[in-house]
């Protein structure tokens, strides 16, 4: 565990961290104040030793950090912190020993609780702080097991969920979903961020939330009030706000399906999750087509009948697989 965290710290300090290492290190930093203090001390020492900007060669050197650290640990502490600009390996080794000299009990692995709603299912989750999450089909949330004791109540979301958050001014509730970060204190709102959809969105039912891009955590958030919806377009990185009826927020909990300028591929993906089926449309063309429709808790057969008329397609069932035939480009 210590070696793994150390690798992530080195990657961040040298500017070469990956999305995976960034996520893991952020979770570790959110786990406790001691971890934040360790990182800040490591960062200060890194700067003090005059480390040059990261290069490919330095990145490769970082891979050797652990064996170097183990060798240095057997030496006396006296020669560890000698100032050196040219010898980057020596600097990395020095910082490694400094890190490893901390009590191993100060660095604990964060235990995460994970909830996943399977296709065809909607799941209700009650958090330790009494907040409630409704998970849409094919969605997953994870959070530190003791997240209510942290500086923020941090939630990771893949898919779609409706949140009813218990008010706590001293401990913001933060939802990270794809490129978006949503910050609240006590309210109800919906977040949709399925991996293969072209859009991610945040829609507020009650209260107020702030939404910003995760890489722009120091920027000014976009504030949303009841009935406000923010959409992030993944293809161009733009944010767009609009208004919706509050009674339509998270209507999927009651079995309703709402589509607003969704691609046919996104519509079929939603049907797959809701009804636990699979669609085969490999030979069908939908270039430029968009679907705007509302299906209030209707059966799959009723929905497919409506789609067949608007998209000029036919359906053939093969067990739980549904073949789509026909279709035409909308360009």
CATH number, domain at 294? 3.55.50.30
- How many domains are contained in the chain? 3
- The bridge status of strand 153-164 relative to strand 173-177 is parallel
The residue whose two tokens read 């359906």 is 315
pLDDT in tens, 239-262: 999 999 999 999 999 999 999 888
CB 91 within 8 A of CB 65: no
Domain annotation covers residue 86: yes
Q: Which of 75, 106, 137 is the last residue of a domain?
A: 106
pLDDT at 100: 53
130 DSSP 8-state letter? S
pLDDT at 330: 81
Q: Residue 192 above 60 pLDDT?
A: yes
Rounded Cα–Cα distance for residues 25 and 44 (Å): 17
pLDDT in tens, 27-45: 888 888 788 877 877 776 6
Q: Percentage of residues in the chain with pLDDT exceeding 90?
A: 42
Domain annotation covers residue 135: yes
User: For residue 300, what are its two tokens?
Assistant: 């799959």
What is the distance in angstroms between the CA of the first residue and the CA of the last residue of the chain?
Answer: 53
241 shares a domain with 117: yes
Domain annotation covers residue 118: yes
CB atoms within 10 A of CB 245: 8
pLDDT category of residue 299 using cuts at 50, 70 and 90: very high
42 shares a domain with 121: no
210 shares a domain with 144: yes
Q: Percentage of residues in the chain with pLDDT exceeding 70?
A: 78
Rounded Cα–Cα distance for residues 16 and 288 (Å): 38
Which alpha helices (H) appear in 74-134, and where do they start and end?
88-101
Torsion over CA: 9, 10, 11, 12 (sign): positive
240 shares a domain with 119: yes
205 shares a domain with 264: no
- Mean pLDDT across the stretch 34-58? 58
Q: Which of 303, 308, 311, 304 is nearest to 329 (CA)?
A: 311
Q: Residue 229 above 90 pLDDT?
A: yes
Q: Residue 113 above 70 pLDDT?
A: yes
Q: How much is the mean pLDDT over the chain?
A: 79
144 shares a domain with 206: yes
CB atoms within 10 A of CB 241: 13
CB 143 within 8 A of CB 113: yes
Q: Which of 90, 106, 122 is the last residue of a domain?
A: 106
pLDDT category of residue 99 using cuts at 50, 70 and 90: low
pLDDT category of residue 97 using cuts at 50, 70 and 90: low
CB 304 within 8 A of CB 315: yes
Rounded Cα–Cα distance for residues 271 and 265 (Å): 10
Rounded Cα–Cα distance for residues 291 and 268 (Å): 11
CATH number, domain at 162? 2.60.120.1440
125 shares a domain with 37: no
CB 230 within 8 A of CB 209: no
Task: Print the domain residue range for 50.
Answer: 2-106
State which of 56-60, 71-75, 91-95 shows the largest mean pLDDT.
Answer: 91-95
Q: Name beta bridge partners: 243.
A: 228
Domain annotation covers residue 331: no
User: For residue 31, what are its two tokens?
Assistant: 């786990």
163 shares a domain with 47: no
Q: Residue 184 above 70 pLDDT?
A: yes
197 shares a domain with 138: yes
pLDDT at 185: 76
pLDDT at 158: 96
pLDDT at 36: 82
User: For residue 103, what are its two tokens?
Assistant: 């009590």
CB 44 within 8 A of CB 94: no
Q: Name beta bridge partners: 116.
A: 140
CB atoms within 10 A of CB 17: 18
Rounded Cα–Cα distance for residues 110 and 32 (Å): 9
pLDDT category of residue 90 using cuts at 50, 70 and 90: very low
pLDDT at 87: 36
């Amino acid at each position: 565990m210590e070696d793994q965290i150390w690798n992530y710290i080195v990657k961040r300090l040298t500017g070469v961290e990956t999305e995976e290492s960034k996520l893991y290190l952020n979770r570790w930093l959110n786990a406790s104040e001691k971890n934040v203090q360790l990182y800040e001390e490591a960062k200060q020492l890194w700067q003090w030793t005059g480390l040059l900007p990261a290069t490919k060669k330095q990145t490769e050197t970082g891979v050797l950090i652990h064996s170097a650290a183990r060798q240095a640990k057997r030496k006396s502490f006296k020669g560890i912190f000698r100032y050196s600009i040219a010898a980057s390996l020596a600097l990395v080794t020095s910082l490694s020993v400094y890190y490893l000299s901390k009590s191993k009990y100060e660095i604990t692995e964060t235990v995460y609780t994970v909830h996943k709603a399977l296709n065809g299912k909607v799941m209700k989750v009650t958090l330790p702080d009494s907040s409630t999450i409704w998970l849409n089909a094919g969605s997953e949330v994870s959070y530190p097991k003791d997240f209510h004791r942290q500086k923020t109540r941090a939630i990771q979301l893949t898919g779609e969920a409706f949140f009813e958050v218990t008010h706590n001014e001293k401990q913001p509730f933060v939802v990270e979903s794809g490129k978006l970060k949503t910050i609240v204190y006590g309210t109800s709102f919906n977040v949709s961020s399925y991996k293969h959809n072209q859009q991610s969105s945040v829609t507020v039912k009650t209260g107020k939330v702030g939404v910003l891009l995760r890489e722009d955590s120091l920027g000014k958030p976009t504030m949303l009030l009841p009935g406000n919806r923010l959409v992030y377009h993944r293809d161009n990185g733009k944010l767009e706000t609009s208004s919706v009826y509050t009674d339509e927020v998270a209507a999927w909990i009651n079995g309703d399906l709402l589509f607003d300028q969704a691609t046919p591929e996104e519509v079929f993906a939603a049907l797959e999750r809701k009804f636990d089926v699979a669609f085969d449309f490999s030979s069908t063309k939908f270039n430029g087509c968009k679907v705007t429709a509302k299906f209030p808790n209707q059966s799959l057969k009723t929905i497919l009948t409506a789609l067949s008329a608007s998209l000029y397609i036919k359906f053939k069932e093969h067990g739980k697989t549904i073949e789509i035939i026909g279709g035409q480009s909308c360009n």
